């Protein structure tokens, strides 16, 4: 009975030791999309998801791709903000919280039900329109 338990115990110990000794092995398993977002470039999947989220939201009532309506044209937003991790976070927070002052005094309504991840996907689509 003890011999039967030794093999699984050894395998568990080997696995744990490999993870602790070789953290680069764990880093290699991360998704490429996560690496791209960290580097400031959105993945094609995030851009497509962002476009879909925008099409299903109320955004198009105030924004168009190349025409200023109540809010700025998406192309103007893309020209103003480089695609950096800081800008993804800043603009996603602005989408969620709403506010005014950057593009005029008419406030953008808050979208508190959006997750930060979905808001970043929406921003990734907008910033891809350069």
DSSP secondary structure of 26-92: HHHTS-HHHHHHHTT---HHHHHHHHHHHHTSSGGGTB-SSSBSSS--HHHHHHHS-S-HHHHHHHH
Residue 108 annotated in ligand binding: yes
Predicted confidence band at 15 (pLDDT cuts at 50, 70, 90)? very low
Higher-pLDDT residue of 9, 75: 75
Residue 62 annotated in ligand binding: no
- Contact at 8 Å (CB) between 125 and 51? yes
Give mean pLDDT, residues 47-76. 97
pLDDT at 35 over 70: no
Give mean pLDDT, residues 101-110. 93
Q: Which residues contact 110 (CB under 8 A, 6 or more apart)?
A: 96, 97, 98, 99
The CA-based angle 11-14-17, given to 5 degrees, is 150
The reported pTM is 0.70
């Amino acid at each position: 009975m003890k011999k039967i338990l030794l093999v699984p115990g050894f395998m568990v110990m080997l696995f744990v030791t490999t993870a602790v000794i070789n953290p680069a092995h764990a880093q290699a398993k991360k998704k490429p999309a996560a690496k791209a977002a960290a580097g400031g470039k959105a993945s094609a999947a995030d851009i497509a998801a962002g476009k879909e989220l925008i099409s299903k939201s109320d955004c198009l009532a105030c924004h168009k791709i190349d025409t200023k309506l109540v809010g700025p044209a998406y192309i103007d937003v893309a020209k103003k903000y480089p695609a950096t991790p800081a800008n993804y976070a800043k603009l996603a927070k602005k989408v969620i919280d709403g506010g005014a002052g950057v593009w005029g005094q008419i406030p953008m309504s808050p979208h508190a039900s959006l997750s930060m991840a979905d808001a970043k996907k929406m921003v990734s689509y907008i910033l891809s329109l350069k």
